[in-house]
A and B are shown apart, each in its own frame.
Chain A
């Protein structure tokens, strides 16, 4: 294969027949130490956790522009996976193949086979093992897909969770319930249309589980950039099987959104949006509770970002919600971010946030900074104070702090050490150490920025 830059037109790529085969890969290894001082559950239910030292590796490799006879540059693909090993009551191993697919693209046709991701209707992020076939006809794009849902694990069960607190590292795969992928089928299709600045899509998605039909939804999206500084769009998802919606109709709108973004303005950016959700219709239809119905909620929000002199950026964001019976809720945030230096090597930010629900609410005050102290050394500190309106387990505040330092041995190899300290309603003291070793191999993007 040969990279050809032909001087046969104003843009030589117009006459290009072949690209060089390319490979892109990255591997990351994270070692974490964790010791929790206290984790009392409600009413004294304890969950003591011992010292753990999990080591986790993630890696991906993608490639492209591989030739087939009569179809140059037609094959591309991607493989990614993670694995974990660490001591806890013996050595626990775990892992997952998150992506593994190859794509054949020739002319207007494309075929993707293997583990891949689709973004359908209410099931908004589905990983499946199967096939997607697509084609482009002028202004239209058509895709059809089918396969087995990955649950989301390939060999083990759902039950994975990400709450973000430090005990994540201690998830024990032995606690999970075994799952059977039999019957976990998904299929769908989407039709895309491009007309001038307008992009529109109609999609159908169906998903089954071991009990029966879980999701059957029809969704529509539209997005347009009529002016260089204005983007508008919206979407809606129609649940075709839901029994809620007042119990009178077999279908209902499970969610809908409208938005408008103003970008490229002299002062910064602005956006407004409206969203609606009928939460009962977001339940899989194999859930008994789906028959109970539920309240809908509406949210109207906006965001304004102002770029000020001296590389100072201010952001204000707010959203108000109205639930059934007029119960209000809302969120608001004000943030100041300062990034001095041509390449933004320093960052200082402060943030004040308020969240309000009918059950509880909290204020958050956040201060953080990051900087490159030396050519090879960067450091960061991120602190936050939460003040709860109503005590949680008798405690009204959480205090957290995270410090990190990263040393770049060379371009491809970096080591980050981090410590987190928290005092929360669930822990009198929680300390975590994180060691992250990143090795990046990116042979096709070696130029870098000066």
Chain B
């Protein structure tokens, strides 16, 4: 269950890293197709003509943003008489404010001064002069990783050098710890070995959104619209759960305590503990006189957990009434049992009372 359960969490994450953000502004016309510099023509434009040297509010504090900032309407009025209307059509409000996850901690000026960049914004922001479906407006993280310094940070999983810690919950790693392939089924293994890594993006509440077995409603019931989430308990799981526990014994224990089974069966009146309840086992299950031909032994060896769901009441367990040394069911110990190791283990104490 667990390996499928966190699918809900993964689906909830916004894959901001892979989004292609396109602006409505005709950058190409302004930068490359505009007749400029000649007699009677306007000055030629560069990126910095509109985007240079602004400040912005971050957390209520005015900070320098370097070269990048959303242009102001005054940038347009020198050429366009209808600038206010044109401006409002060209600038997408969601880009005018920094999109979630794109607010990286970044200084443009020293980057623009690097020889490889030569002051050209489009080296990274090729999408600004591109077309729909082309290069993204914001550079992919691989662009950043072409620098050795950032590659080292990336390999060590140090995200907060560039990303703000509180943005990480809205991002999804694309390559490092890629949440792809069988990630939903693997996430428990990864989370166990690198819990601190998970915490850098996920709250513990994220785990509980699927794994909290105390909630009365399952994640599938609470989220009927999440078709793509790999939730285990969809639809008529009441009927399937017996088959599912047989299919992959032990998987249920990922989230459920073993006594939960009997608690539920008792509450719903389908447990042998209920007065008047009829055994769910077929005739001859434990006697050999019916169709089942005393097959409870092999069934128990195959999935002992299913027996324990109802029959585990400590020393009073149904099984040990017969399966005890000297009992009609014979020794409970499996073939090859040597009993060589004296032990005070609780399961031994139940029958042997510490006499071993």
Contact = CB atoms under 8 A, between A and B. Distances in A.
A181 interface: no
Contacts of B177: 225
A84 B214 CA distance: 12
B254 A60 contact: no
A418 to B, nearest CB: 4
A247 B333 contact: yes
Given A65-B165, A201-B192, A400-B236, A7 B182 contact: no
Given A261-B180, A288-B350, 19 more contacts: A10-B111, A11-B106, A12-B105, A45-B278, A162-B233, A164-B220, A170-B216, A248-B338, A269-B181, A277-B250, A283-B304, A285-B345, A286-B314, A299-B248, A355-B247, A384-B235, A386-B235, A448-B100, A450-B92
B98 to A, nearest CB: 5
A125 B193 contact: no
Ordered nearest first, which 10 A-B pairs have the shortest CB separation?
A164-B233, A247-B337, A450-B94, A294-B304, A13-B105, A293-B334, A43-B278, A3-B59, A269-B181, A165-B238
B338 A292 contact: no
B193 A201 contact: yes
Nearest to A14: B161
B105 A16 contact: yes
B301 A324 contact: yes
Interface in A20-69: 20, 22, 24, 30, 32, 39, 41-47, 54, 56, 58, 60, 62, 64-65
B94 A5 contact: no
* Count class of interface residues, chain B: 35 or more
B218 A243 contact: no
Contacts of B233: 162-165
A280 B189 contact: no
Contacts of A19: 164-165
Contact of B66 (A3, A7, A194, A243): A7
Interface in A405-450: 406, 416, 418, 420, 422, 424-426, 432, 434, 436, 444-450
Contact of A152 (B66, B214, B276): B214
Nearest to B189: A235
A246 B337 contact: yes
Interface string B325-356: 00000001111111101010111111100000
Interface residues of A, number: 184
B61 A447 contact: no
Given A30-B222, A42-B270, A449-B19, A11 B150 contact: yes
B302 A211 contact: no
Interface string B205-218: 10110011111111
Contacts of B238: 163-165, 167, 424, 426
Nearest to A42: B280
A166 interface: yes
B234 interface: yes
Contact of A99 (B208, B268, B323): B208
B21 interface: yes
Given A11-B162, A244-B334, A382-B227, A283 B205 contact: no
Contacts of A175: 263, 266-267
B189 A233 contact: yes
B63 A3 contact: yes
B188 to A, nearest CB: 7
Contact of B278 (A42, A223, A406): A42
A117 interface: yes
Contact of A282 (B212, B215, B253, B268): B253
Nearest to A430: B236
B343 A289 contact: no
A219 B254 CA distance: 15
Contacts of A277: 249-250
B86 interface: no
Interface stretch (B33-41, B121-129, B166-174): B166-174
17 contacts: A45-B269, A60-B205, A120-B192, A161-B213, A199-B194, A212-B345, A221-B192, A243-B347, A279-B249, A288-B312, A288-B317, A305-B181, A337-B228, A360-B246, A392-B239, A400-B235, A449-B94
Interface in A165-192: 165-172, 175-177, 192
Interface in B44-67: 58-59, 61, 63-66
B46 to A, nearest CB: 21
Interface in B94-136: 94-95, 97-103, 105-107, 109-111, 114
B186 interface: yes
Given A290-B347, A299-B248, A378 B225 contact: yes
A247 B338 contact: yes
Nearest to A385: B235
Contacts of B21: 449-450
Nearest to A39: B268
B217 A64 contact: no
B253 to A, nearest CB: 5
Contacts of B249: 277, 279, 297
Contacts of A94: 216
B10 interface: no
Given A98-B212, A447-B102, A125 B95 contact: no
Q: Most chain-B Cβ atoms within 10 A of its Cβ — which of A30, A200, A219?
A: A30
A282 to B, nearest CB: 5
Contact of B242 (A213, A321, A342, A359): A359
Contacts of B186: 233, 259, 261
Contacts of B196: 134, 141
Interface in A256-290: 257, 259, 261-264, 269-271, 273, 277, 279-280, 282-290
Contacts of A152: 212-214, 257
Contacts of A306: none
B248 A288 contact: no
A402 B248 CA distance: 27
A447 B94 contact: yes
A10 B105 CA distance: 10
Contacts of B164: 19
A206 interface: no
A205 B234 CA distance: 32
A2 B61 contact: yes
Nearest to A443: B166
A375 interface: no
B350 to A, nearest CB: 4
B88 interface: no
Given A370-B225, A447-B102, A448-B100, A163 B107 contact: no
Interface string A103-123: 000000000000011111000
